[in-house]
Structure 1
Amino acid sequence: MNLSNSLSSEASAPEENGGRTTVACVILGLSFLVGAPGNLLVIWTIVRHVKQRSHTVVLILHLAVADLLVLITLPLWIYSLAFSWVFGQASCKAMVYVINACMYSSVFLITLMSVERFAAIRYPFASAVWRRKEALDKFLLVIWAAAFLLSIPVILTQVLDGDSGEEQCLYREYTSGGQEAVFLLLETLVGYMMPLCILVICYSCLCSRIAQMTFKSKRKSTCLIASVVVVFTLCWTPHHVVNILSLIYLVVKDPHPEVAEHLEGASETMTFIAGALVFISSTVNPMLYVFAARSFRGSLRETGIQKLFQHISSTSPGEMTKELSYMSKRQLGSHTNSSQIEIQPREQMNSSLNIQEKGSS
């Protein structure tokens, strides 16, 4: 989430700066050209063509909005890296704050998507209550509020630095080593370690179930979200490794200056890669949706991605009945007597299934 640390390596050694700045501008430019239209396509498709949206599709919509808000700032960063930051310190703080908040929200949305898939597949009856639209709205409000609150340290520490006329909005200035350690720990624990642990637990529990699912839309959406989680892990791990190296540096710089020097060099080298991957993470998700939509391409009137979101949002009673056949009697027994289900008339079963479908969509 620390955008400044992700890009600040560009401001070191002047001889190295030219090549690194060129590479950074190319990466950011490609991310903007690919990611911004891709996320716009996702938003337009869901808003325009998907009327009844499942929880998964709503979360994808919010994720696309968060990614788009990050990507539309890239032209300003490209100009800043190529020349200097000419927009003032207030706009520097405001833009980095919004970007950090959007990146926090992306992490939380991906985590909620995974938890929602886990609950929908493993405990469909228990999850029916909270999967109503009102419950989802509350979760989304909490996610966005938490993201903006957790980004407040950016306002306190973001500064412009450099000679007059060549200032860069790339630096965080801390009042003490303790303050830096607290902010880095907060970012890494809340923005990476905790979500990653939840993701690993959810998909470890679902691993054996995904291959068995006969409910096509559930299988498709679960595999899609799993790929989003993999991309999240690959893109964000280097950034937080840099944070951890920075924390170790703060601890060992006084008693072991030689070790601290090596850590600082490794951190500066990784920072360049980490900064690029952070922005690439906001670019890749729309491409995953398009790739997943390939098997849903149908008539000329409907694009593949449109059919994907519509299919994820739709659930037929027949498919739900097949999916329920994989649930153990023990799972069903915690919510409904299994013997009653066996003797329940087909009409009553279909009626209860229809009610659950409405709640999940």
Structure 2
Amino acid sequence: MTVSGPLQGAAAPVMAVLAFAAAIAWWRVRPWPVQWPTAALGALSLIVTALYLPHGDGGSYASAWGLLEAAGLLVLIVLLVRRARPLVAAVVGTLTGAAVAALLLRVLPSPVTTDDLMMCSFWALIAAAAAVAGRYLRAQDAARIRAARQAEREQQLALAADLHDFVAHEVTAMLFQAQAAKLLAGSDPSHALTALDRIEKAGQRALASLDRSVHALRQTGAPQYGLTDLHELARQYSAVGPAPVHVHVAAAAEACSGDVAELAYRIVVEALTNVRRHAPDATAVTVDIQPAADDAALRVTVINDTSLGTAHGAPTRRSDPTAPGGTGIARLAERVGARGGTLTAGPTERHSWRLTAVLPAGRAVT
């Protein structure tokens, strides 16, 4: 079949462009895999080009419409490489790229020379550039998906951390009071009722902590607690036991940023929880928050006078906070290390246990 008359000048490229526009419009309304319209339109373009070859020069009509057709095919190549499977994209992309490269043959006189083929290869490079653009967009899409999954994972870990740091703290207090109520039920019912009342309040605080954790996650992880909350924490802990807690926060330490203050609060919560779990014979706990020596860091120190040697989840013979006996201190040590700080825990010479954390302080926003 050969082309002559009006079809040679304009009808064939117009038909190709209209077919391209119709396919894209239909695809926007009812999407299907991008390889099908790309393969169909690439094949159609090659057929139209083949119709021109016996007569050569397609004239200005073919040139103008051919540019529109080439632009559409290049867009399809970008979408194809971005969305289709790699093998399918390679096969269909090669076909469509060949169609783009062959478009120039419609306006070149016959027979085709080596110089003409060199000019076609330039258009093939343009098609290759479109494929590279599609590959870049595909990589960006994959990066966004990974980032979204990582953000979801971090949100899950944040919720788990809150459940451990705050809810577990209250649950430990409930268990401690339940044990006390069980021992006093027969000999001193009034104290047993007091313990039950404290269990109820601890349960309410646990629910409040859970609600606060979920709310904070919805508010993009805004800090929940700070250094000013340590005194209330100490009061609640002292009321339940096993030992009173004394808190001292230096005025200079209060200038630290909110996220650092919250991390310091979490460290104290974990330390007190471990005292309750592992050092029931402790008689006093001291919490001291001070600027570090270089005034660019915050030092958090928690000391209890137990002689059991397991107050912070590690055996007496070890000073490694990641030692067996609990994951809270190990997880906090990783979090502190990620901020460029340090956290150590271990026995002292006075038969007590000391936890020390040094945090880069930052500065509070005023």
Q: TM-score range by the shorter chain?
A: under 0.3
User: Given the two structures, how large is their TM-score scaled by the length of structure 2?
Assistant: 0.25
Structure showing the higher helix proportion among its residues: 1
Query: Rg: which structure is higher?
Result: 2
